[in-house]
A and B are shown apart, each in its own frame.
Chain A
Amino acid sequence: DAGVTQSPTHLIKTRGQQVTLRCSPKSGHDTVSWYQQALGQGPQFIFQYYEEEERQRGNFPDRFSGHQFPNYSSELNVNALLLGDSALYLCASSLTRFGSGTQYFGPGTRLTVL
């Protein structure tokens, strides 16, 4: 049983560019969440998708957007990249969108903005 997968593994962009990160959830999971982990910090919640809709959103600007597809996979898009967007982006999937559900994380995408 494959776990959560993310692509690409690493990405280098320049300021002002746009980036798309991809995530495939664990088999049977229908809820996908995205987190940003800056160097030396804990992950910060970006948003959560369930039934192809954004259900919850953290304190991130509109430059951060996402999408969930009918097969439950998800994309994270970041527009007008800033140096401060450099981070490890983690995708997590769960069986439920309720608080008691365990989230399983992918290996992450390391984004570097120059």
Chain B
Amino acid sequence: AQSVAQPEDQVNVAEGNPLTVKCTYSVSGNPYLFWYVQYPNRGLQFLLKYITGDNLVKGSYGFEAEFNKSQTSFHLKKPSALVSDSALYFCAVSSEAAGNKLTFGGGTRVLVKP
């Protein structure tokens, strides 16, 4: 079975400050890791993914994530947060064994204050 934990329900950050959203995972075999963002009354928007290779993955809108195999983590980061980054962020995992089935964490609400 695969699982994802997002330990923080909400993250508050001032505009211009660095933003980090935490994610840890559990999976059999090599993980495929994804970050999605959800704005109110909208579907999920893909930000980035880790499949293999470089542990630092760069994605859309200035976001990046670092894969750490020993800590089974895949934290999302942005060097300078914008008010428009305020949204709900989901980490998800799949694997070759799981096929295209994504298992999501519970989500972290990010609030960026001006």
Contacts and interface: CB of A to CB of B under 8 A. Distances in A.
Interface of A: 4, 6, 31, 33, 35, 41-45, 48, 55-56, 58, 90, 92, 94, 96-108
A31 B44 contact: no
B14 interface: no
Given A41-B107, A43-B102, A45-B102, A102 B49 contact: yes
A59 B103 CA distance: 12
Given A99-B95, A102-B49, A43 B101 contact: no
A96 B100 contact: yes
In the A-B complex, the 8 residue pairs with the closest CB atoms = A42-B104, A99-B94, A105-B43, A105-B44, A107-B43, A100-B51, A99-B32, A97-B100
A107 B42 contact: yes
A38 B41 CA distance: 13
Nearest to B95: A99
Interface residues of B, number: 27
Contacts of A100: 32, 51, 94, 96
A41 to B, nearest CB: 6
Interface string B88-99: 001010111111
B34 interface: yes
A99 B100 contact: yes
A51 to B, nearest CB: 13
B86 to A, nearest CB: 17
B100 A108 contact: no
B6 to A, nearest CB: 8
Contacts of B94: 99-100
Interface string B52-75: 000000000000000000000000
A99 B50 CA distance: 11
For B36, B94, B100, B104, which residue has the most chain A Cβ atoms within 10 angstroms?
Answer: B100
Contacts of A103: 34, 46, 100, 102
B43 A41 contact: no
